Amino acid sequence: MSLKKNSYYSSKKIRKYGALYNVVIGQRSNGKTYDWKANLLDRRSKDNDYTGAYIRRLDVEIAPKNLSTLFDSHDIEKIFHGKFNAVEYRTRAFTLVYKEDGVIVSKDEKPFCYAFALNTWEAQKGADRGEIKTICFDEFMTRKVYLTDEFVIFQNIISSIIRDRDGSEIFMLANTVNKYCPYFKEMGLTRIDQMKQGDIDIYEYGDSGLKVAVEFCAESGNTKDVKKYFAFDNPQLQMITTGTWEIALYPKCPIDVNRDEIFKRFYIFFNGQKICGDIVKTKDRLFILYHMHTGQYEPNEKDVVYLEQHDGCMLHCKYLTEKPTELHTRTLNRALLPFQISVPIQEVLQVNVLCLWLFRLRFVQSV
């Protein structure tokens, strides 16, 4: 199921499965978004009622200054046999037009694609834009912050777009920037970790009729001439050059830690995995050592545990910034504070090493 190297991405293989949701992940600039747009334009040239929807996370991403050139890379005049030669983007809608000397002299009677943003979907949900056949959620994975209840918002916007009409296809496109994207858990995509480049995996949900196809794009060689610019020894850059997962570099613990130097331990439960955090105090340094916990352990009321949902116990927290004990206030939280944004919990799981020495503090006499 792999693509021929040195070619841009094509959705022909994943489309053969007839899935409602098509999740496509891979390297940057391999043609994922271009392919979706090309299919939309081709279908529109044959069916004037064929319409698409383009979704991004934030409204700033669909502002005219960022989106007006979305279809500029396509030969509109050739696709539509001279009837149109450009695309106009106004009021979050793309319309085919014909220009002479930069001036619009004619335009299509209705838009062929509408733009939506997750964080402002409420303002757009009332309008019925007719039957939309293809939907693209571009850059659905991010290395930054997801919206609160983002998957629910995404489902609501899909409901608002398709209404009670069947027959729409949904493409979710992203670069391989976050292996622990919350969409994977919400959609029950449990085998992402096991996929290799070029694989297509299918998920079906009982007799509901729902089918999700996930494609981990094969390495594309179309950017081979510029790969030399990203040849540094940093695994995060492999997302650009080969399409493998972007994994951050973390320093390993430079010393051997004795059990008697671990004076406090806490746990993080995330995405079905358990991380143990050992607060280590030696004669000249204080730091936290993270490692995967492979033994049997269930949260109890005596331990500090970070969970994805609150369970009512005073020592169990949802966020690393919470302070359930005096120890957190005086040491642990002081250490975690600089990493509230730059090192979210999920990044701990992105490194396939036993120990992660995230940071070191000066020796503190009193803890």
Q: Could you state, in order of their start, the residue ranges of all structural domains in the chain?
A: 12-241, 259-362
Look-up: residue for tokens 């009677």? 109
- CA dist 171 and 166 (Å) reads 16
Q: What is the pLDDT of residues 26-78, one digit of tens each?
A: 887 889 999 999 999 999 999 999 999 999 999 999 999 999 999 999 999 99
Please state the pTM of the whole predicted model.
0.69
DSSP state of 329: I
Choose the weakest-confidence range: 4-13, 217-226, 326-335. 326-335
> Cα torsion for 34, 39, 45, 50, to the nearest 10°?
-120
- Domain 12-241 coded CATH 3.40.50.300: yes
Q: What is the pLDDT of residues 317-341, one digit of tens each?
A: 776 556 566 655 554 444 433 222 2
Q: What is the pLDDT of residue 320?
A: 59
Contacts of 111 (CB under 8 A, 6+ apart): 51, 93, 94, 95, 129
Q: What is the pLDDT of residues 77-119, one digit of tens each?
A: 999 999 999 999 999 999 999 999 999 999 999 999 999 999 9
Spatial contact of 181 and 245, defined as CB atoms under 8 Å apart = no
